[in-house]
Amino acid sequence: MQDQPSYLFPLPHTSLIAALAQHVTLSQEEEAAFLAICEIREAKKKEFLLHTGQPTRALYFVQKGCLRSFIVDKAGKEVNLEFAVEHYWISDIGFGKPALLSIQALEPTQYVQINIAAFEQLTQGYPVFNLFFRKLLQNGYFAFKKRTLSGMTQTAAENYRDFLLKFPDLSQRIPQYHIASYLGITPEFFSSIKSEGLDLYQQAIS
Amino acid sequence: MQDQPSYLFPLPHTSLIAALAQHVTLSQEEEAAFLAICEIREAKKKEFLLHTGQPTRALYFVQKGCLRSFIVDKAGKEVNLEFAVEHYWISDIGFGKPALLSIQALEPTQYVQINIAAFEQLTQGYPVFNLFFRKLLQNGYFAFKKRTLSGMTQTAAENYRDFLLKFPDLSQRIPQYHIASYLGITPEFFSSIKSEGLDLYQQAIS
């Protein structure tokens, strides 16, 4: 695309365009307008994109690597809420409000940052992005609700199966205690249910 | 409004129009088009609007009364997720998919039902409703996330304070065990933290 501001977007953005196309059909002009508000960023391993309490100003789309969102619970323990690997979106959602959670890189991560104020302005000229964001929120809300409720209605082994279905290769990439924290269990209990969860996963994909 | 189909909407809809106006500015034509897909319904106390596993096809706006959403956890116990009183929206969100949760009336309830397929069709002609629904989802997602995380980061008394801030008169209207279930604690533990929560609430509003 000729009118794409290449200085802001020097890297392949095929995955981002594909992510948009999942929800909306865009003209070249709309695609270019969207790419113009996207900033390519890189985070080192362990680097924070957002700290609990900071105003939330952006949403993030992972090109390569892995981000996690987490909170510190009342016992002072970190609890992982979400992982975002390649082609996943992640954010705090409460735009303008103090963030409920922190977002941190678990691997060296290349991601797209979309400033929410710039996004709001974009929707003025191109209302199709309200539809895009609405679909994104609908999916994100449902996924978060499903995961929260699974923690209450399913066994730990079933929750681990669901983790493996969602992130087939992530257990090879991040420390096991991060997965235990995502499942809401201790690393010791995770060890004891791991092979049962793997069996359930094998059944589910076979 | 002349073109409002009064047979579908025979009752005062001021609160619904006000709920729309919180997020978007509508023309008379857009208002009328929205009202045309709204159905006024009534539920008896204890009546179900949705059962876990049924396909989710609608969202609900409470005019008068109280709806709850809940799940049955792995111990077979009902856990309340959300209450919707006057002028609150409630739904399962996973439209078309099997519902994760059940929705039931806790009082005789008058509500507006919006079929999601009709809503999708409405947005074709009136894209402003994508913005409206986007804002609704953004708020709903944030509120659900905040409540879920509060359960992990706050004491039960602080969570009860937040319940009272959100629903100042609801504790007079529904049985106490429904509030305990919403707070994720036993009725006995709720009794023991209730006055501390009330104190925190008084501090917060004074």
Q: What is the 3-state secondary structure (H, E, C) of chain A?
A: CCCCCCCCCCCCCHHHHHHHHCCCCCCHHHHHHHHCCEEEEEECCCCEEECCCCEECEEEEEEECCEEEEEECCCCCEEEEEEECCCCEECCCCECCECCCEEEECCCEEEEEEEHHHHHHHHHHCCHHHHHHHHHHHHHHHHHHHHHHHHHHCCHHHHHHHHHHHCCCHHHCCCHHHHHHHHCCCHHHHHHHHHHHHHHHHHHHC
d(CA A63, CA A16): 8
The C-alpha of B146 sits at a distance from chain A's nearest C-alpha, in angstroms, of: 7
Residue A7 has pLDDT above 50, yes or no: no
d(CA A113, CA B134): 20
Q: List residues of chain B with CB under 8 Å from any CB of chain A.
A: 71-74, 79, 81, 93-95, 97, 100-101, 123, 127-128, 130-131, 133-134, 137-138, 140-142, 144-146, 148-149, 152-155
Instruction: Read off the pLDDT of each residue in A57-76 and give the average, rounded to a whole number.
Output: 96
Q: Which residues of chain B are within 8 Å of residue A137 when distances are taken between CB atoms? A: 134, 137-138, 141
Predicted pLDDT at B96: 86
Test the B interface: residue of A30, A73, A129, A149 with most B CBs within 10 Å: A149
pLDDT 10s digits, B169-182: 999 999 999 999 99
Contact list in A for residue B79 (CB cut-off 8 A) is 152
> Side by side, which strands form the sheet with A109-115?
A38-43, A109-115, A58-64, A89-90
Q: Which of A66-70, B95-99, B153-157 has the lowest mean pLDDT?
A: B95-99
Contacts of A55 in chain B (CB under 8 A): none
Rounded to 5 degrees, what are φ and ψ at A192?
-75, -20
Specify which residues B105 forms β-bridges with: B67
In the predicted model, is pLDDT for residue A5 greater than 90? no
Does the pLDDT value for residue B21 go beyond 60?
A: yes
Residue B141: predicted pLDDT: 94
Across the interface, of A95, A100, A148, the residue whose CB is closest to B146 is A100
Contacts of A154 in chain B (CB under 8 A): 74
- Residue B22 makes CB contacts below 8 A (sequence gap 6+) with B135
ipTM of the complex: 0.90
Confidence of residue B13 (pLDDT cuts 50, 70, 90): confident
Res. B9 pLDDT band, cuts 50 70 90: low
Contact A137 B138 (CB under 8 A): yes
Q: Find tokens 């619904």 and name the residue.
A: B16
- Element at B95 (helix H, strand E): none
Neighbours of B79 (CB within 10 A): 17
**What are B42's strand-pairing partners?**
B110
